[in-house]
Amino acid sequence: MPDSPPKLEFAEPPSPEALLPGYGLWPWWVGAALLVMVILAIIVIKRRKKKPIDPAAARHTALQEALSSLRETRAENARDAAIQGSLILRRYLSVAAGDPALFETHEEFISRHDSLQALTPDARGATEVAFGKLAALKYAPELPHADAAAVLTESTSLLETIHGGFAA
């Protein structure tokens, strides 16, 4: 028998590290992405914090917008002028005085005891009288025969009265 049995040699076992999967750099990328998202969230939250608004500046801006709107208003009749003037004045009051007049009917506005508390008593009285006249024109059963330009002029005058009538 010329063939001799094969020799048995003991081989070294494979390294256990070779059996573990390779992780590469993806855990670092995930960590970096999470860090960037946290930083962006902090920046967004800080920017959303409202800065204190200067009431005088807000009133002045609202006055300029209201005056511009009254100048640009073109009404065919006194009813349309009263509707537009009332809307502009109520929008001004909602911004300048923080009053919910824009969202109320005339009856709700006059029945509310805390309306226009930011105004002096004289300005408050003038406002109530002028809004009463505007309501009479808006809700008249027949088309009023008043001049539309005069109604808008009175609305402009009331706006200036209200703006000058804020209590210190």
Greater confidence (69 vs 18) lies with 69
Give the C-alpha separation, 104 to 61, whole Å. 23
User: pLDDT tens across 6-57, in order?
Assistant: 788 888 888 888 777 777 788 889 999 999 999 999 999 888 877 777 778 8
Q: Is the pLDDT of residue 168 over 70?
A: no
99 CB contacts (<8 Å, ≥6 apart)? 93, 115, 116, 118
Give the C-alpha separation, 92 to 99, whole Å. 9
DSSP strands (E only) in 59-163:
none
Query: Which one, of 112, 110, 141, 113, lies nearest residue 127 by Cα?
Result: 110
pTM for the model stands at: 0.67
Give the C-alpha separation, 11 to 137, whole Å. 107
Q: Is the pLDDT of residue 141 over 60?
A: yes
Query: Which one, of 140, 167, 157, 145, lies nearest residue 88 by Cα?
Result: 157
User: pLDDT tens across 84-120, in order?
Assistant: 999 999 899 888 888 787 788 878 877 877 777 778 8
pLDDT (0 to 100) of residue 30:
93
Range 128-153 average pLDDT: 88
